[in-house]
């Protein structure tokens, strides 16, 4: 019980954490909340915000010294967001072979990182969360993107608790909350317009 209390206390304090890791988590939070609230087919904007968010949360994991697999996954995710941005700006869908490379990259990098630092079962959770990220950034509109953000955020919240990364947990739980708000604002209204 004391460990849970300590973790929650650290999470609450992370909102006022002006260390480099805390600032990077805050940057991620702002970028990803903004991405989750973008309406409709503005995937270029969403992808650039996802790039900034992933890059900053990866740096946060490294600066905090926790969640090395999370950092590796987020750096890969940042690179994939940029690649997807260029495909989206040309109006071209992602080739299936590229999606396969994305998935393989996540699996390989996470396994390499995990085995080089002493195998950690959290590696498997980071891989699953990373694979949902591939699905997240491969969407063609904000509604589908938000669905996958929810899946991804839940997995990263579990990872953050298990890897004892309270500031990143605070970031992911806020992202999850704002994504749900984005769904209510944009996607629920869209469904009711279709029914009329």
Mean pLDDT, range 19-38, rounded to an integer: 83
Cα-based distances in Å from 79 to 36, 98, 182 = 19, 13, 25
Task: Categorize the per-residue pLDDT at 11 as very low, low, confident or very high, splitting at 50, 70 and 90.
Answer: low
Rounded-to-integer distance, Cα 159 and Cα 120, Å: 12
pLDDT at 69: 76
Is 196 part of a structural domain of the chain?
Answer: no
pLDDT of 167 > 60? The answer is: yes
Is 27 part of a structural domain of the chain?
Answer: yes
Is 28 part of a structural domain of the chain?
Answer: yes
Is 148 part of a structural domain of the chain?
Answer: yes
Cα-based distances in Å from 81 to 24, 118, 130, 185 = 18, 29, 13, 25
**Poorest-confidence range of 89-98, 111-120, 155-164, 169-178?**
111-120
Is 101 part of a structural domain of the chain?
Answer: yes
Is 89 part of a structural domain of the chain?
Answer: yes
Name the pTM for this structure. Answer: 0.76
Rounded-to-integer distance, Cα 32 and Cα 144, Å: 15
Average pLDDT of every residue of the chain: 83
Kindly state the percentage of the chain with pLDDT values over 90. Answer: 21
Is 10 part of a structural domain of the chain?
Answer: no
Is 13 part of a structural domain of the chain?
Answer: no
Domain span including residue 104 = 20-188
Name the domain count of the chain. 1
CB of 134 closer than 8 Å to CB of 99: yes
pLDDT at 28: 84
Task: Categorize the per-residue pLDDT at 143 as very low, low, confident or very high, splitting at 50, 70 and 90.
Answer: confident
The CA R_g of the chain, rounded to the nearest whole Å, is: 17
CB of 49 closer than 8 Å to CB of 31: yes
Which of 84-93, 119-128, 180-189: highest mean pLDDT?
A: 84-93
pLDDT at 92: 87
């Amino acid at each position: 019980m004391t460990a849970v209390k300590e973790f929650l206390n650290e999470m609450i304090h992370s909102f006022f954490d002006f260390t480099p890791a805390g600032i990077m988590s805050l940057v991620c939070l702002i970028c990803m909340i903004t991405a989750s609230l973008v309406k409709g087919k503005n995937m270029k904007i969403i992808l650039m915000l996802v790039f900034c968010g992933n890059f900053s949360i990866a740096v946060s994991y490294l600066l905090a010294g926790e969640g090395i697999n999370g950092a590796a996954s987020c750096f890969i995710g940042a690179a994939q967001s940029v690649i997807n941005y260029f495909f989206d700006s040309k109006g071209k869908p992602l080739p299936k072979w590229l999606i396969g490379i994305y998935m393989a990259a996540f699996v390989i990098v996470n396994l390499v990182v995990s085995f080089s630092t002493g195998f950690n079962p959290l590696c498997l959770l980071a891989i699953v969360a990373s694979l949902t990220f591939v699905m997240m950034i491969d969407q063609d509109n904000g509604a589908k993107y938000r669905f996958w953000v929810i899946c991804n955020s839940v997995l990263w919240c579990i990872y953050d608790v298990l890897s004892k990364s309270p500031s990143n947990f605070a970031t992911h739980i806020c992202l999850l909350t704002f994504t749900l708000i984005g769904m209510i604002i944009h996607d629920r209204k869209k469904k009711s317009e279709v029914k009329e």
